[in-house]
Amino acid sequence: MPMSREKVAVGLSGGVDSAVSAYLLKREGYDVVGVHLVCWDEGPGCKASRDRQDALRVAMALEIPFEVLDFQKEYKERVIDRFYDDYAKGLTPNPDVWCNSEIKFGMFLEWAISEGFDKIATGHYAEVRKIEEEDQTRWGLFMPKDKWKDQTYFLYRLGQEELSRAMFPLGSYEKKEVRKIASEVGLPVADKKDSQGICFVGDVDISEFLHRRLQDNEGEVVDTNGRVVGKHRGVWFYTIGQRGGWQVGADFQKKFGGEIPVFYVVDKDVKNNRLVVGFGAETYKESLMVSDLSWVGSKRVNEDGFRTRIRHGGCLIGARGEWSGEKMRVELDEPQRGVAAGQAAVFYEGDELLGGGVIG
């Protein structure tokens, strides 16, 4: 039991992870209130209405108060508009990073503090630890027990203030354990499938989602030597590392006698409306530049050696760093395919996430 009944606002998404988070906190004696955030309620693939109903059902099953907050306007401005703008620039953005920093640990946290809550909690798979050191007390962000579900990548922009107010009850559980708890205590979402896709938007086809604002703009597909390979329908509809998806020209096919090499997107030249593709060693990079750096606390990476992740779910790669003004050049121990401008690169010391930035 906590020393005092701390008041915790739990973000109830309507899924099993947040539901079990609320259950665990209530079981531990916290004064729990379920809060559902409405951020997006339009278009194919959106399940906002069902999620809201499921969140209410969870709150009723747990016998906790329930609130609904409408952040649709702010979510559109801070996440979705930026998402479109970055794609139009040829970048591959991380909307879930902004969703966490701007909405969940931005507006939701601000609301909770103004309403007298001590903490907010979410169903993220991550761990927050209070670390006592000789000269300071700090908050650290660590990988969870379930490394397969690790969501620290999306939380790298959280700082000391946010972490001092954050709770991630699932950090010491594996997903299968969470499902088992939900089933054993009779939570109504125990068997609900995990949400996929863009934060709050849902499992949508990215190309179709982009088409709502960005139009086809046919241009040339060229190899790394500038030879025309074929045609594309708009550079923003392709991601770095993507295999195929464009029209191969007849002349190019004849050149290879029908045996066309496997090409991957290696660059997007928005200015000249060209998609650059390559194969083999051309598709790999040994280094990347990271800007717009954000650190969880005062602790920084040891430039002589740390681990980095350049996409959610990607492997952890040994790396070294070299500062260049406000940016850091990251040299990878192993060359990687699909290093995309606009994506986040995050840095770890052991299992602790120290911070990250934007590739570009």
User: pLDDT, tens digit, for every residue of 85-105?
Assistant: 999 999 999 999 999 999 999
pLDDT at 38: 94
CA 15 to chain centre: 17
Q: Please measure the distance between the N-terminal and C-terminal CA atoms of the chain and give it in whole angstroms.
A: 47
Confidence of residue 181 (pLDDT cuts 50, 70, 90): very high
Of residues 39, 46, 99, 315, which has the active-site annotation? 99
pLDDT at 202: 66
pLDDT at 40: 86
**Residues 138 and 115 sit within 8 Å (Cβ to Cβ):** no
Q: Which two tokens stand for residue 213?
A: 């604002």
pLDDT at 122: 98
- What are the tens digits of pLDDT across the range 124-137? 999 999 999 888 89
Q: Across residues 292-319, what is the average pLDDT?
A: 94
Give yes or no: 99 in active site: yes
**Residues 36 and 145 sit within 8 Å (Cβ to Cβ):** no
- What are the tens digits of pLDDT across the range 255-266? 766 677 789 999
Distance between CA atoms of 244 and 248, rounded to whole angstroms? 9
pLDDT at 249: 80
Of residues 39, 46, 199, 315, which has the active-site annotation? 199
Distance between CA atoms of 302 and 14, rounded to whole angstroms? 40
Report all structural domains of the chain as residue ranges with CATH numbers, in order of start: 7-124+168-207 (3.40.50.620), 215-278 (2.30.30.280), 285-359 (2.40.30.10)
pLDDT at 313: 87
Distance between CA atoms of 302 and 284, rounded to whole angstroms? 25
- CA 116-120-123 angle, to 5 degrees, is 160
| Most confident of the following: 45-54, 255-264, 332-341 | 332-341
Confidence of residue 48 (pLDDT cuts 50, 70, 90): confident
From residue 127, give the alpha-carbon distance in Å to each of 4, 28, 167: 22, 17, 8
Give yes or no: 199 in active site: yes
Confidence of residue 4 (pLDDT cuts 50, 70, 90): low
Nearest Cα neighbor of 46 from 84, 80, 91, 17 is 80
